[in-house]
Structure 1
């Protein structure tokens, strides 16, 4: 089945549109140019969309960091309820946009996802706030991958975020294929066909999930093992929750090495002792931070092709996102 477009919510200013309070923008080249080749953006500017205009007075968060007010800096005008009403309406609209992730503008009183300044009546600001729109969005879509443009310059956070986005898109495509996405798609007919598709999806994502959470990978395996006896809505709903929870946990070098060793085990009767020693040396050099992940993964991919390992050919762990993004060259 052809993959649907990967739709991504994004703060409008990051695409270079002049929607900032001062009439400017905060264009991010990585977001607009690099990710723009792979994602279909749905731009959102909460401040403009709720009618505050361009240009507009600068605003900030004030009061209790856990429930801050949105106020105009120079006049103290309270815009909290106006923004909250907009947020409640807009997140419901976005529920119909098939978003697989969202990229927020950092430090924004409306769109900052973390560490936004909140000003008390006296004293220095607390760096613990969340923008009002970002909070409403994350509350409405707790499992959806989200990031800020600044954090995407961290190689580990970037790779984890984009890996989650592509995994979610593949799972959404599975739901459409089996008729579980409520779009009226004909889908696979019969319980057996739906279970079969889920089993195939799970098998292909086994090592990818394992690299994020061995514990949740085990839970997912148990769920799939009893899939035939679980009602479809419960089955796919629980599986999605486990999948997204696992992928939200950061993969570490130790977890990657565990997966690399599992994959190498498939070739223990085919490769020479010297080849095995070379692979294990690469794994340890990667673990020690002397090599990027792409090096041992490339060696294993070579063995997969050379020895025509059918099961491993389908493993998304070896190619979780487009090679052109070069994400594993830097982690």
Structure 2
């Protein structure tokens, strides 16, 4: 089972500052059917109660971001950061992480950053726990709960999650053939997300003579960076038209024209991505193509999630 870290409040644990939770419907009732969650709450983990005094991020005169208990001024930055550091072995077993937005411990972006002693703030901070988590696992897919309400960001995160889980499942130590097979399987997916990085990664592997841990770490980091931006309609269209070419000898003129029209309808926003995908997968069953059958692009995550119906 794919293991995913998650802020405890997002799975209904009453650990928030006000004693409540922030349960995520998507995480609990959709994604939760296909992954095993590892819930953590940094504030509770360092011994703070629920409910508890509020915490905020402050930027001191040296430009450092600190997590401070508002009512007492106590600085708990190091404790929160150390809580993450102490769990680095746990994080190595995770394939992704869902974090609570706006949290001074778990927020990934736009957390309110205050001037000490004042109410003045700007949305420019990163939660202390989240920052340390990024440092420990830079390639691991991470997302905030609020951003998962956007269908494109949701689909993008889940795609990255299952690609990274596949990477983590590769036999260790990694052999060149394993990386080449992994890269080949995800070629069309990379092409749909980032054409320039798709070409750069292919060039790196083509020129690869020897492989070490530094190369593999950089490779998967670049793969995840390439996939981090949601694929555009234009890029998807290019890939769909490329795949269409594999069937030009088998399809009749009417079938080719119908497929081309469905792809164009997707490009123009008339049909969701699932429409041309379903038709291509139908033809793939009728006329199997070994290369295409091995491509993650057609099913990068469990189909039951139905994420492409909203794209």
TM range (shorter): over 0.9
Conserved? CA contact 2:138–2:221, under 8 Å: no
Equivalent residue number for residue 79 of structure 2: 82
Identify which of 106, 109, 112 aligns with 1:117: 112
Residue 246 (structure 1) aligned with residue 226 (structure 2): yes
Partner of 1:188: none
Alignment of 1:286 onto 2:266? yes
Q: Structure 1: give runs of 5+ residues left out of the alignment.
A: 182-193
Counterpart position of 1:196: 177
CA distance in 2, matches of 1:57, 1:238: 41
Runs ≥4 residues deviating over 6 A? none
2:114–2:121 CA contact under 8 A, matched in 1:
yes
TM-superposed CA distance for 1:327, in Å, is 0.6
Task: Show the 5 A alignment for 1:166-315.
Answer: 166-174=162-170, 176=171, 179-180=172-173, 194-227=175-208, 229-233=209-213, 236-315=216-295
Aligned residues: 309
Q: Counterparts of 2:223 and 2:278 in 1: how far apart (Å)?
A: 25
| Match for residue 2 of structure 2 among 1, 6, 9 | 6
Q: CA deviation at 1:318?
A: 0.6
CA contact (8 A) 2:262 2:276 kept: yes
Give the whole-Å Cα distance in 2 for the aligned partners of 1:298 and 1:64: 55
For the residue of structure 2 that corresponds to 1:211, the secondary structure is helix
Deviation at 1:275, TM superposition (A): 1.9
**Is the partner of 2:95 in helix, strand or coil?**
strand
For residues 200-251 of structure 1, the C-alpha deviation after alignment (integer angstroms, 9 at most, x for no partner) is 3222211111111112222222233344x22354553443233222222321
CA distance 1:151–1:64, shift in 2 (3 Å)? farther
Residue number in structure 2 paired with 1:141? 137
Contact in 2 for aligned 1:205/1:316 (Cα 8 Å): yes
1:64-75, aligned counterparts within 5 Å?
64=60, 67-75=64-72
- Cα distance in structure 2, aligned partners of 1:57 and 1:111: 17
Q: Structure 2 stretches of 5 or more lacking a match?
A: none
Aligned CA distance change for structure 1 residues 278 and 14 (closer, same or farther; 3 Å): same
For residue 57 of structure 1, the aligned residue among 53, 71, 75 is 53
Residue 314 of structure 1 and its aligned partner are, at CA, apart by 1.4
RMSD over aligned CA atoms reads: 2.0
Aligned to 2:308: 328
Contact 1:87 1:132 in 2 (8 A): no
- Deviation, 1:34, is 1.3
Normalised to the residue count of structure 1, the TM-score between the two structures is 0.87
1:126-147: CA deviations, max 9, x gaps? 1111111111111222221100
TM-score, structure 2 as length reference: 0.92
- Between stretches 260-269 and 27-36, larger displacement belongs to 27-36
